[in-house]
């Protein structure tokens, strides 16, 4: 039985479409749940892994747009309950259960604005390693196996340069040393892992791109740092990498 309390823990009415199932992460796999949407009102998604409510919310405003799914030795069935307020962030407003649906591997919710577009809050699972099963074969666009990795490698190089800038601003200490060591080997590691992925998936699926490998590795090291500005900055860099930062225009976070 799911804990279907609202994001703030209040007991509010739900409906049969509040909880949606974007997919299942298979054993020894990792992924990120991405939250998006197009709404002025506050939106929040409560994540459940095998029915267990997670503390971190996803959504807009102050809610994170990403939820990391770590490697486990069992299937992780992912469910998300969509909620909204009939306003921007306002502690005086109650949470209202949204109505959702899953199409082409993406969960989407409609708030009570009345437009029935199911894009006020969205959530989809991006595989980092291993396998994700969704209810539809189609999903968010992925890179073609025939696409040369050079453009993606340029994105990785730009990301490494961004990380070097972060390291240069850090005070001396173990955190700086750990991140500096990671950055020093980052490019060679992701290239090696990319070619290993190509070989492993030659007859199975699209290999993991170098930028996704870097994002997965960086996310793991970010989780080892305490909550704070540095961890947030690293997670923003992870998000920038996975968005496919605009290298040609020199975009940086």
Residue 205 has pLDDT above 70, yes or no: no
125 φ/ψ angles, rounded to the nearest 5 degrees: -105, 125
Domain containing 112: what range? 19-133
**Are 246 and 171 a contacting pair, CB within 8 Å?**
no
**Are 69 and 32 a contacting pair, CB within 8 Å?**
yes
Better pLDDT: 203 or 73: 73
Q: Using one digit for the tens of pLDDT, what is the confidence trace for 92-120?
A: 999 999 999 998 778 999 998 777 788 89
- Using a pLDDT cut of 90, give the percent of the chain over it: 36
Q: Using one digit for the tens of pLDDT, what is the confidence trace for 207-229?
A: 556 777 777 778 878 888 888 88
Query: Does residue 74 form part of some domain?
Result: yes
Query: Does residue 87 form part of some domain?
Result: yes
Tokens of 90: 């306002």
Report the interhelical angle of 229-243 vs 150-169 (nearest 10°). Answer: 170
Overall domain count for the chain: 2
* Beta partners for residue 53, in sequence order: 48
Query: Does residue 50 form part of some domain?
Result: yes
Residue 39 has pLDDT above 50, yes or no: yes
Residue 63 has pLDDT above 80, yes or no: yes
Compute CA 200 distance to the chain's CA centroid, rounded to the nearest angstrom: 24
Query: Does residue 139 form part of some domain?
Result: no
Cα distance between residue 102 and residue 201, in whole Å = 28
Inter-CA distances, 68 with 30, 125, 147, 150, 237, Å? 8, 10, 27, 27, 14
Better pLDDT: 80 or 165: 80
CA dihedral 116, 118, 121, 126 (to 10 degrees): 180
Cα distance between residue 126 and residue 222, in whole Å = 18
Is there a single domain that holds both residue 129 and residue 158? no
The answer to which of 164-168, 192-196, 220-224 has the lowest mean pLDDT is 192-196
Domain boundary among 133, 158, 191: 133
Cα distance between residue 32 and residue 147, in whole Å = 23
The pLDDT confidence band at residue 233, using thresholds 50, 70 and 90, is confident
Is there a single domain that holds both residue 30 and residue 109? yes
Residue 139 has pLDDT above 50, yes or no: no
């Amino acid at each position: 039985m799911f804990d279907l309390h609202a994001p703030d823990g209040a007991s509010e009415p739900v409906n049969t479409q509040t909880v949606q199932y974007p997919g299942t992460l298979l054993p020894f796999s990792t992924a990120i749940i991405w939250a998006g949407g197009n709404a002025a009102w506050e939106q929040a998604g409560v994540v459940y892994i095998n029915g267990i409510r997670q503390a971190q919310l996803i959504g807009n405003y102050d809610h994170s747009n990403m939820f990391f799914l770590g490697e486990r030795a069992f299937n992780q069935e992912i469910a998300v309950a969509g909620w909204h307020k009939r306003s921007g962030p306002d502690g005086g407003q109650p949470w209202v259960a949204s109505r959702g649906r899953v199409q082409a591997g993406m969960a989407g919710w409609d708030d009570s604005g009345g437009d029935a577009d199911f894009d006020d809050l969205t959530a989809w699972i991006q595989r980092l390693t291993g396998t994700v099963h969704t209810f539809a074969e189609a999903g968010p666009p992925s890179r073609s196996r025939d696409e040369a990795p050079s453009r993606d490698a340029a994105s990785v190089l730009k990301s490494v340069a961004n990380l070097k800038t972060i390291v240069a601003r850090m005070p001396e200490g173990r955190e700086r040393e750990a991140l500096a060591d990671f950055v020093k080997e980052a490019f060679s590691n992701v290239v090696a892992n990319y070619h290993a992925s190509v070989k492993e998936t030659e007859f199975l699926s699209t290999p993991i791109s170098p930028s996704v490998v870097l994002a997965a590795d960086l996310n793991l090291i970010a989780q080892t740092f305490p909550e704070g500005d540095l961890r947030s900055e690293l997670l923003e860099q992870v998000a920038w990498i996975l968005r496919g930062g605009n290298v040609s225009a020199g975009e940086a976070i």
